[in-house]
């Protein structure tokens, strides 16, 4: 049983599904945030695995992009969460429904 | 010499801009002197170029300025020929005198610089009109004089009657402009150009008599609006609400003659359409008669002069209608002098009488205002047609030309003579009621002669009123010779022999003397005669033309706009606008329900949608 690309893809899919479940189920904004990171990393893993398998460089380029975007997103996202927490002493997203139409 | 002619338009325009922007800082009276200076310089620039036509060294030229509408080949260009030169002399010459007069007349007015800005704007507009080398540029001037006329009539716009008069003048002129615009369209379709030179040169071959008749009749609708001919004459008497120098400059000497000028300019077209010419002549005569009949009963000194102007414009239109273009333009010239003088004289009287315009409250002013008395006396004799004052020569030329045309035109000549009689009558009435007899004003008015800035223009105009007729006498047709090149290719009326002209002139002179002799003893009495007969009452109300228009046109128009304002607008227009707004906001509130504000809800939708997409991809394959 050699280490084929399928294992990496399966791992990526598993990580992504865990991330989706986390976002949908958890109420704490911080945990949801971590789940999103998980999804992003799952995608990165998939990109790199496929890139290695097909011998194409584009997948690794995409992986670097995802990292950059994730870094930027973390900065802003965390700032927002901290700001929300400061005003409400809670990070429960179900209570944040001010934008209801 | 002609290179600088564009300045004749540009300088007054510059004056208007300066007075509009900085008038308040410049202040009284310098802004007035500035405005006067710009017009006077314009006049001075045009003098040598005009004199070259007199000496015979000048020739007609078209001065290209810039390309205005390249798409249809319309250039901004000046046509410099004797006709436009003459009009330039009248407009800038009389214009500068009236500017000078206004410096004194408008003293103390709150919006003094604004007045001079408008006056300069008018001069610039009028110069665009008369110097235009094509119909398009002429139309620009035509509209601009309408605008400045509107601004100046309603100059004292806090007075409701002045504001209404300005609107009336503007709207009635628009009706005339409609005819002008349609005529311009037909001209462009027929000739492919607006250029005077091309249009007139190709007219005899390019268009049929029918087209020429249509064009000229529509042009005449425009001319009737501007020159206050029947049935569009109603705006001019109301225009007297403006300051008196405005009445003198715009509504007597210059702007109202634009229609006559335009017909003379289009002489080639009118020559092709004798039917249109006859209609023009009949309308002119009818206007002259009706206005004279109204003028004899008016008690407001400016109203008499206003109807007199309409009547004299009728003469000019009769002149150009019968094809006596030189005679029509000649009367335009002499009339510009004596009517401007009459208005300025009336302004001087009104000024002295502390804004009293009712002649019944004047009388005996000759001792208080000797200069006004003498100069207005000259104008009175000139307009009445007394030998050798200017009006005698020009009016007789028109009447003689009408007579010479023969046939049905003899009837028009007869009516023209009747109008001459009425003219002598009502002018004598005005003159005697104002200056002779016993004073009828109340004790607290102290009539006094006007300041020098006002009397100098009176004296200058008085000089020309007496003498200008001599430039075109049957003995020496200098004026006709001067204008010859402007009416090249236009058939000339067979000149009467000196003998028959003398007989006609004598008849006209006798008629004028009878008119004066009839009115003089009637009004030179201590007690004014009662003017309360049925005819007098109707005449005083201008034969109810305004009332007829009011009932047949204005009232239904008001009804229609009331319906539009009370029913159409709130129900249909507002209903549509509100309905669209309500529909959109309703749709929005439905969509808004989807925004629950629950982040996990959105994420769920996203996840489900993503899952569906993946399934679709897997099932259908990547090819879609």
CA distances from B146 to B94, B117, B140, B166, B548 (A): 19, 15, 10, 10, 25
- Judged by DSSP in three states, B375 sits in helix
Out of A20, A32, A97, the one facing B598 most closely (by C-beta) is A97
| B327 plus B455 within the same structural domain | yes
Q: How far apart are CA B184 and CA B265, in angstroms?
A: 14
Whether B372 is in a domain gets the answer yes
What's the pLDDT tens digit per position in B120-166?
999 999 999 999 999 999 999 999 999 999 999 989 888 888 898 88
Residues B282 and B382 in one domain: yes
Contact list, A100 vs chain B (CB under 8 Å): 595-597
Chain A residue with Cα closest to B593: A101
Per cent of chain B over pLDDT 90 is: 20
A:B CB pairs within 8 Å: 35
Q: Nearest CA of chain A to the CA of B610: how many Å?
A: 11
Distance from CA of A97 to the nearest CA of B (A): 4
Residues B426 and B296 in one domain: yes
Which residue, of B507, B540, B573, is where some domain finishes?
A: B540
Residues of chain B with C-beta less than 8 angstroms from the C-beta of A98 = 597
Give B582→chain A minimum CA distance, Å: 17
| Nearest residue in chain B measured CA to CA from A20 | B607
Cβ-Cβ contacts under 8 Å, B598 against chain A: 93-94, 97
Identify whether residues B510 and B583 lie together within a single domain. no
Q: Residue B451: its pLDDT value, please?
A: 81
Query: Do B562 and B535 have their domain in common?
Result: no
Residue B72: inside a domain, yes or no? no
B438 touches chain A (CB under 8 A): no
Last residue of a domain, one of B540, B570, B591: B540
Is the pLDDT at B623 greater than 70, yes or no?
A: no
Q: DSSP string spanning B567-615?
A: IIIIIIIHHHHHHHHHHHHHHHHHHHTT----HHHHHHHHHHHHHHHHH
Does the structure show a pLDDT above 90 at A46? yes
Please check the confidence at residue A80 and state whether its pLDDT lies above 60.
yes
Residues of A whose CB is below 8 A from B607: 20, 23-24
pTM to 2 decimals? 0.78
The domain boundary residue, chosen from B540, B567, B597? B540
Domain residues for B291? Answer: 278-540
The whole-angstrom separation of Cα B512 and Cα A92 is 107
Would the CB atoms of B597 and A32 count as touching at under 8 Å? no
pLDDT, mean of residues B229-255: 86
**CB contact (8 A) between residue A100 and residue B596:** yes
Give the helix/strand (H/E) hosting B473: strand B472-473
Residue B483 lies in a domain: yes
Looking at the domain assignment, is residue B604 inside a domain? yes
Q: Does B150 reside within a domain? A: no
Give the tens place of pLDDT for each residue, B373-412. 889 889 898 888 888 888 888 888 888 888 888 788 888 8
Cβ contacts of A91 on chain B, cutoff 8 Å:
none
Please give, one letter per residue, the 3-state secondary structure of B403-463: HHHCCCHHHHHHHHHHHHHHHHHHHHHHHHHHHCCCCCCCCCCCCCCCCHHHHHHHHHHHH
Any domain includes B18: no
Statement to judge: residues B434 and B477 lie in one domain: yes
For B169, residues 6+ apart whose C-beta sits below 8 A from its C-beta are B146, B149, B150, B153, B235, B236, B238, B239
* pLDDT band, very low/low/confident/very high, at B491 (cuts 50, 70, 90): low
Residue B310 belongs to a domain: yes
Q: Which residues of A touch B (CB under 8 A)?
A: 20, 23-24, 27, 32, 93-94, 96-101
pLDDT > 60? residue B73:
yes
- CA-based nearest distance A57→chain B, Å: 22
- Work out how many domains chain B is built from and give that number: 2
Inter-chain CB proximity B598 and A99 less than 8 Å: no
Q: Do the Cβ atoms of B599 and A32 come within 8 Å?
A: yes
Query: For testing the chain A interface, which of B591, B600, B601, B610 should be mutated: the one with the most A CBs within 10 Å?
Result: B600
Same domain, B469 and B496: yes
Alpha-helical (H) ranges within B471-565 are 478-483, 498-523, 534-540, 545-549, 555-563
Residues B535, B559, single domain; the answer is no
Interface of B with A in 549-608 (CB under 8 A): 589, 591-600, 603-604, 607
> Measured between CA atoms, how close is A80 to chain B, in angstroms?
14
Q: What is the mean pLDDT of residues B253-279?
A: 89
Mark yes or no for CB contact B604/A27 under 8 Å. no
Q: Which 318-377 residues of chain B touch chain A by CB within 8 A?
A: none
Q: Are B536 and B584 in a shared domain?
A: no
Contact state of A101 with B594 under an 8 Å Cβ cutoff: yes
User: Do B536 and B569 belong together in one domain?
Assistant: no
For residue B510, is it within any domain? yes
Query: Taking CB atoms and an 8 Å limit, are B603 and A99 in contact across chains?
Result: no
Instruction: Please name each of the domains of chain A with its CATH number.
Output: 5-90 (1.10.287.3510)
B532-591 pLDDT tens trace? 788 888 878 878 888 888 888 888 888 999 998 888 888 888 889 999 999 999 998 888
The verdict on B344 and B480 lying in the same domain is: yes
Per-residue model confidence (pLDDT) at position B495: 64
Q: How large is the angle between the packed helices B30-55 and B112-131, nearest 10 degrees?
A: 20
> Among B399, B437, B424, which Cα is nearest to B524's?
B437
For B595, which of A20, A94, A101 is closest by C-beta distance? A101
Distance from CA of A94 to the nearest CA of B (A): 6
Determine the pLDDT at residue B326.
86
Among the partner-chain residues A93, A96, A101, the one whose CB lies closest to the CB of B592 is A101
Give backbone dihedrals phi and psi of B271, rounded to 5 degrees, phi first: -65, -30
> B608 and B512 in one domain?
no
**For residue range B409-443, what is the model confidence (pLDDT) as tens digits?**
888 888 988 999 999 999 998 888 888 878 877 77
């Amino acid at each position: 049983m050699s280490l084929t690309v399928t294992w990496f893809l399966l791992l990526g899919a598993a990580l992504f599904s865990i991330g989706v479940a986390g976002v949908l189920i958890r109420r704490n904004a911080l945990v949801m945030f971590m789940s999103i990171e998980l999804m992003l990393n799952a995608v990165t893993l998939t990109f790199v695995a496929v890139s290695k398998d097909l011998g194409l460089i584009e997948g690794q380029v995409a992986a670097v992009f995802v990292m950059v975007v994730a870094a930027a997103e973390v900065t802003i996202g965390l700032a927002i969460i901290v700001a929300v927490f400061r005003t409400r002493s809670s990070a429960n997203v179900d209570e944040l429904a001010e934008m209801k139409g | 010499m002609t290179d600088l002619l564009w300045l004749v338009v540009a300088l007054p325009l510059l004056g208007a801009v300066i007075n509009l922007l900085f008038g308040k800082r410049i202040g009284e009276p310098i802004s007035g002197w500035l405005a006067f200076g710009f017009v006077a310089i314009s006049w001075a620039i045009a003098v040598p170029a005009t004199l070259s036509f007199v000496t015979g060294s000048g020739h007609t030229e078209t001065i290209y300025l810039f390309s205005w509408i390249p798409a249809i080949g319309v250039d901004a260009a000046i046509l410099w020929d004797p006709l436009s030169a003459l009009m330039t002399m009248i407009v800038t010459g009389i214009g500068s005198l009236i500017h000078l007069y206004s410096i004194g007349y408008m003293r103390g007015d709150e919006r003094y610089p604004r007045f001079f800005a408008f006056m300069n704007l008018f001069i610039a507009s009028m110069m665009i009109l008369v110097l235009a080398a094509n119909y398009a540029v002429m139309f620009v001037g035509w509209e601009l004089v309408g605008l400045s006329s509107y601004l100046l009539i309603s100059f004292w716009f806090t007075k409701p009657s002045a504001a209404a008069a300005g609107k009336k003048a503007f709207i009635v002129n628009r009706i005339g402009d409609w005819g002008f615009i349609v005529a311009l369209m037909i001209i462009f379709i027929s000739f492919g150009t607006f250029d005077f030179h091309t249009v007139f040169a190709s007219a005899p071959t390019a268009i049929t008599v029918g087209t020429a008749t249509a064009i000229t009749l529509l042009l005449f609708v425009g001319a009737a609006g501007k020159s206050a001919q029947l049935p569009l004459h109603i705006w001019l008497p109301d225009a007297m609400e403006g300051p008196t120098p405005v009445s003198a400059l715009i509504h007597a000497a210059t702007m109202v003659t634009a229609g006559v000028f335009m017909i003379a300019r289009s002489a080639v077209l009118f020559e092709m359409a004798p039917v249109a010419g006859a209609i023009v002549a009949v309308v002119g005569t009818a206007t002259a008669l009706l206005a004279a009949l109204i003028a004899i009963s008016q008690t407001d000194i400016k109203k008499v002069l206003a109807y007199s102007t309409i009547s004299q414009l009728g003469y000019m239109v009769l002149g150009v209608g019968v094809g006596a273009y030189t005679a029509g333009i000649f009367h335009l010239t002499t009339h510009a002098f004596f009517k401007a003088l009459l208005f300025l004289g009336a302004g001087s009287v009104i000024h002295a009488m502390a804004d009293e315009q009712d002649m019944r409250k004047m009388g005996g002013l000759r001792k208080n205002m000797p200069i006004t008395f003498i100069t207005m006396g000259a104008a009175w004799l000139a307009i009445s047609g007394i030998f050798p004052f200017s009006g005698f020569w020009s009016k007789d030329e028109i009447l003689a030309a009408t007579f010479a045309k023969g046939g049905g035109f003899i009837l028009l000549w007869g009516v023209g003579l009747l109008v001459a009689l009425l003219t002598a009558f009502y002018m004598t009435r005005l003159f005697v009621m104002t200056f002779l007899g016993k004073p009828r004003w109340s004790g607290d008015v102290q009539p006094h002669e006007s300041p020098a800035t006002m009397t100098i223009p009176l004296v200058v105009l008085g000089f020309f009123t007496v003498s200008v007729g001599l430039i075109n006498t049957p003995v020496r047709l200098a004026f006709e010779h001067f204008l010859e090149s402007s009416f090249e290719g236009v058939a000339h009326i067979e000149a009467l022999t000196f003998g028959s002209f003398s007989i006609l002139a004598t008849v006209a002179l006798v008629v004028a003397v009878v008119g004066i002799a009839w009115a003089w003893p009637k009004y030179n009495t201590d007690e004014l005669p009662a003017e309360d007969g049925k005819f007098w009452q109707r005449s005083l109300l201008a034969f109810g033309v305004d009332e007829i228009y009011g009932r047949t046109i204005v009232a239904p128009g008001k009804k229609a706009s009331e319906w539009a304002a009370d029913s159409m607008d709130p129900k249909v227009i507002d209903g549509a606008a509100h309905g669209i707004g309500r529909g959109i906001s309703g749709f929005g509130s439905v969509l808004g329900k989807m925004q629950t504000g629950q982040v996990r809800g959105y994420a769920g939708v996203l996840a489900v949608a993503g899952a569906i997409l993946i399934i679709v991809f897997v099932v259908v394959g990547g090819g879609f």
